[in-house]
Amino acid sequence: MQNLSVLDIMRTSAVIPVIAIDDLAHAVPLARALVAGGIRVLEVTLRTAHGLPAIRAIAEQVPDAIVGVGTLTQPQEFAAARDAGAVFGVSPGLTPALIAAAKSSGLPLLPGVMTPSEVMAAREAGFRQLKLFPAVPAGGIGMLNALAGPLGDMMFCPTGGVSQENAAQFLACRNVACVGGSWLTPKDALAAGDWGRITALARAASALRQPA
């Protein structure tokens, strides 16, 4: 699993859940519920203090999960996430310091972009797979289709405004390998420990198919 490329990871599942852990005790049962529904790629964000401990727990106790770290915004977070067991990283944007940290840590990075200039800058830095973020404010499907012409060698994971209702439309774009979203982990389901509901949401998401 350590040798998976970003593109391999993106193609593993049509949907990558964006996970914010408010209670560390939820991390492992949540991961197991998602994997049971066919969603193996998990982005655990650093938006809460439980991010790194949750990554470590999932990496150690849910071997079928491909756990990554999200909301990488500072260079020092890369090595810490890798050491916790993350096998890929996701950032909301891209800076020279983050590029250097990704290279030095060896953690495969899916960096966020919003504009054509940012896509071109990321490509110059060696990235071919990007996160369009925030996807809907950035122009959504229209922006992705527009980028496909002049920057057709780039693949995207749109995140931000992607939902159960519009995910299939995003996945129909020829330059979209997967989508990211938080609808697979509703806070009320986590609070109630309703893992069956989360497995059902994951099963529906894993059934999304991109056109050949």
Domain extents in the chain: 6-206
Q: Is residue 6 within 8 Å of residue 32, measured between CB atoms?
A: no
Residue 211: its pLDDT value, please? 43
Q: Is 60 a catalytic residue?
A: no
- What confidence tier does 123 reach under pLDDT thresholds 50, 70, 90? very high
- What confidence tier does 84 reach under pLDDT thresholds 50, 70, 90? very high
The model's pTM is 0.95
Over the chain, what HEC string results?
A: CCCCCHHHHHHHCCEEEEECCCCHHHHHHHHHHHHHCCCCEEEEECCCCCHHHHHHHHHHHCCCCEEEEECCCCCHHHHHHHHHCCCCEEECCCCHHHHHHHHHHCCCEEEEECCHHHHHHHHHCCCCEEEECCCCCCCHHHHHHHHCCCCCCCEECCECCCCCCCHHHHHCCCCECCEEECCCCCHHHHHHCCHHHHHHHHHHHHCCCCCC
| Burial of residue 125 (number of CB atoms within 10 Å: 0-12, 13-18, 19+) | middle
- What confidence tier does 3 reach under pLDDT thresholds 50, 70, 90? confident
- What confidence tier does 209 reach under pLDDT thresholds 50, 70, 90? low
pLDDT at 33 over 90: yes
- The Cα 164–Cα 137 span in angstroms is 17
Q: Are strands 66-70 and 179-181 parallel, antiparallel or unpaired?
A: unpaired
Residue-wise pLDDT for 160-205, tens only, equals 999 999 999 999 999 999 999 999 999 999 999 999 999 999 999 9
Q: Which fold has domain 6-206?
A: TIM Barrel (3.20.20)
- What confidence tier does 212 reach under pLDDT thresholds 50, 70, 90? very low
- The Cα 28–Cα 202 span in angstroms is 15
pLDDT at 1 over 80: no
Over pLDDT 70: what percentage of the chain? Answer: 97
* Arithmetic mean of pLDDT, 34-61: 98
Question: 180 Cβ partners below 8 Å, 6+ apart?
Answer: 15, 16, 17, 18, 43, 90, 131, 157, 158, 159, 160, 162
Q: Is residue 17 within 8 Å of residue 39, measured between CB atoms?
A: yes
Mean pLDDT, the chain, whole residue set: 96
* Arithmetic mean of pLDDT, 25-52: 98
Q: Which of 43, 77, 165, 187 is catalytic?
A: 43
Residue-wise pLDDT for 89-114, tens only, equals 999 999 999 999 999 999 999 999 99
Q: Which of 60, 77, 131, 187 is catalytic?
A: 131
Question: 31 Cβ partners below 8 Å, 6+ apart?
Answer: 42, 58, 61, 62, 65, 67
Residue-wise pLDDT for 127-157, tens only, equals 999 999 999 999 999 999 999 999 999 999 9
Q: Is 131 a catalytic residue?
A: yes
